[in-house]
A and B are shown apart, each in its own frame.
Chain A
Amino acid sequence: MATAAAAGVSLSGPIRTVPVAKAELLGRKPVRIGQLLPLQRRAAAGRGRVVVVGSAQSSTPPEISEKVEESIKKAEEACAGDPVSGECAAAWDEVEELSAAASHAREALKANSDPLENYCKDNPETDECRTYDN
């Protein structure tokens, strides 16, 4: 039903209440549907079913992941001929650079995954984002 979709997700299992901030109700920052999928997975696992979570650990953006794979293949080819040449070193250096970029991208994804945090970074004075330290 439309109301259920607007207010949250109802699951026939352990329900985790998604805190609905005033911002969302006012339509400013809706909870992304993508955020809700992990709830379903967790709920399904709770019922005793084996859920294959897939490659959730390496959450690298696919473009960078592909680049890393390609660069490794190219490096292996380049070094098959002459393992001490400059080309071999340059190829593996590229692999290293791309792996570093991939790990940074993974970190950035982790850091950006909370929509409330992202909203509050730009609007710290709003009601939902105020912190009372003293």
Chain B
Amino acid sequence: MASCTVHTAPYSFHCGSISRPAAKAFSLGFHQKHQQFIFFSSRRRRAVVCSAVEKTVVIGLAADSGCGKSTFMRRLTSVFGGAAEPPKGGNPDSNTLISDTTTVICLDDYHSLDRTGRKEKGVTALDPRANDFDLMYEQVKAIKDGVAVEKPIYNHVTGLLDPPELIKPPKILVIEGLHPMYDSRVRDLLDFSIYLDISNEVKFAWKIQRDMAERGHSLESIKASIEARKPDFDAYIDPQKQYADAVIEVLPTQLIPDDDEGKVLRVRLIMKEGVKRFAPIYLFDEGSTISWIPCGRKLTCSYPGIKFFYGPETYFSNEVSVLEMDGKFDRLDELIYMESHLSNLSTKFYGEVTQQMLKHSDFPGSNNGTGLFQTIIGLKIRDLYEQIVAERAAATAAAAKV
């Protein structure tokens, strides 16, 4: 898809890929995307620059759980089709995932200090001093403009910075890590941003499940590890919540008193109002407050049941809509029943959310709000991408008429 922009002299090139002077403006395309053709109209001193470069759509995801292999990423890439895999033939410890339409890069690759460096200086990876935001901004901007970059690799196993790998601009770029919205320049490049907010109790329960089988770990060491990181987390990572277009908050359930296993969860999807190309999901009546328990005569649920809540709220002085699900579902008909009552899901056919959830029923969170909302956000991002593509096509058509 080509987009044409009309320039009056002096003209500048939008695409950074060709930096040759105007006289030699034909690129013999080694890469289809970077072809540029300049047509000079002799009547008026105007040059119509048509470039076949599409600007990459950039999505930011703030999460504390390591990179690229997280469930959210796998669900997201699955919505677009295809499985995301590490780049073939490259560094086996690469954090990048590539599928047909999406590339996921891990922001840990922009650490300026490796593990030893951080130990010497006494900073955690959460600290902005351990990250090179200038490089992050440069490279994300370059990819957005259609230029391939050599991105460094941070090896999580050795703790060292490995030689860089080539990242070609994809249709959709997802930057996942601790600081996607920390730097304001990077924040402005994002077309959509998500923050995954896990509450302390749930984080503790999950880390116990993850680490208890590990030799050397004990309850105390897991607790100490969370406590030691908390100050930096609260100072640098948590404030990014206010900038996110969507926040997925994971809290302990209110349906079971004193539950500490973290198996039944209360998940809130907080959606900012007024975000371009993003229409928040609602239950029954947009803008009203609804409390809904689907289990009853038509639907039988197992203990502890399911409870929904929807309503407008204020979140860090932003107007938001919140959709909340507490409980877990374990049958297909519960899921399809819930899906049929939610609106603005941006599905392409009835039952698409259920189908996506079933496709990945072995992923964690597949029976509660985490999987449900991650899947729905994936569909919303697909909708956002398609809107952008449609806008570009309309712009091309309009420019061509000139």
Chain B residue at minimum C-beta to C-beta distance from A74: B119
Task: Chain B residues near A101: list those with CB within 8 A.
Answer: 66, 156-157
Q: Is A31 an interface residue (CB 8 A)?
A: no
Q: Which of A73, A86, A100 contacts B122 (CB 8 A)?
A: A86
Task: Chain A residues near B123: list those with CB within 8 A.
Answer: 86, 89-90
Task: Chain B residues near A89: list those with CB within 8 A.
Answer: 122-124, 228-229, 231-232
B interface footprint on A82-95 (CB within 8 Å = 1, 0 otherwise): 00011111111111
Give the shortest distance, in Å, between B66 (CB) and chain A (any CB). Answer: 4
Q: Is B118 an interface residue (CB 8 A)?
A: yes
A 87-129 contacts with B by CB, 8 A: 87-97, 99-105, 107
Task: Chain A residues near B210: list those with CB within 8 A.
Answer: 99, 103
Task: Assess the A99–B211 pair: CB atoms within 8 A.
Answer: yes
Query: What is the bound-complex CA distance between A104 and B73, given in angstroms?
Result: 14
Q: Which residues of A contact B (CB under 8 A)?
A: 55, 57-58, 60, 64-65, 67-69, 72-73, 75-76, 79, 85-97, 99-105, 107
Task: Chain B residues near A76: list those with CB within 8 A.
Answer: 221, 224
Query: What is the bound-complex CA distance between A32 and B125, given in angstroms?
Result: 40
Task: Assess the B122–A92 pair: CB atoms within 8 A.
Answer: no
Task: Chain B residues near A75: list those with CB within 8 A.
Answer: 221, 224-225, 228
Q: Is B82 an interface residue (CB 8 A)?
A: no
Task: Assess the A72–B221 pair: CB atoms within 8 A.
Answer: yes
Q: Which of A64, A79, A92, A100 contacts B66 (CB 8 A)?
A: A100
Query: What is the bound-complex CA distance between A92 and B214, given in angstroms?
Result: 15
Give the shortest distance, in Å, between A93 (CB) and chain B (any CB). Answer: 4
- Shortest Cβ-Cβ A-B pairs, 10 listed: A86-B122, A69-B216, A92-B228, A93-B124, A58-B213, A100-B66, A101-B156, A92-B225, A87-B122, A89-B228
Query: What is the bound-complex CA distance between A122 and B175, given in angstroms?
Result: 28
Task: Chain A residues near B16: list those with CB within 8 A.
Answer: none
Task: Assess the B157–A64 pair: CB atoms within 8 A.
Answer: yes
Among A65, A79, A92, the most chain B Cβ lie within 10 Å of the Cβ of A92
Query: What is the bound-complex CA distance between A73 and B69, given in angstroms?
Result: 28
Question: 10 A-B pairs, CB-CB below 8 angstroms?
Answer: A55-B215, A65-B215, A75-B221, A86-B122, A90-B121, A91-B119, A92-B227, A93-B125, A94-B115, A100-B66
Query: What is the bound-complex CA distance between A65 and B156, given in angstroms?
Result: 14
Task: Chain A residues near B156: list those with CB within 8 A.
Answer: 97, 100-101, 104
Give the shortest distance, in Å, between A121 (CB) and chain B (any CB). Answer: 9
Task: Assess the B229–A93 pair: CB atoms within 8 A.
Answer: yes
Task: Assess the A102–B228 pair: CB atoms within 8 A.
Answer: no
Task: Assess the B215–A90 pair: CB atoms within 8 A.
Answer: no
Task: Assess the A95–B125 pair: CB atoms within 8 A.
Answer: no
Q: Is B126 an interface residue (CB 8 A)?
A: yes
Q: Which of A68, A79, A99 contacts B228 (CB 8 A)?
A: A79
Task: Chain B residues near A55: list those with CB within 8 A.
Answer: 215
A interface footprint on B216-237 (CB within 8 Å = 1, 0 otherwise): 1100010011011101100000
Task: Chain B residues near A72: list those with CB within 8 A.
Answer: 216-217, 221
Query: What is the bound-complex CA distance between A97 and B213, given in angstroms?
Result: 16
Task: Chain A residues near B211: list those with CB within 8 A.
Answer: 99, 103
Query: What is the bound-complex CA distance between A78 and B243, given in angstroms?
Result: 35
B 85-129 contacts with A by CB, 8 A: 115, 118-119, 121-126
Chain B residue at minimum C-beta to C-beta distance from A96: B225
Task: Assess the A90–B119 pair: CB atoms within 8 A.
Answer: yes
Given contacts A76-B221, A99-B217, 14 further A-B contacts (CB under 8 A): A69-B216, A72-B216, A72-B221, A75-B224, A75-B228, A79-B224, A86-B121, A89-B123, A90-B118, A92-B229, A93-B225, A94-B115, A100-B65, A103-B211
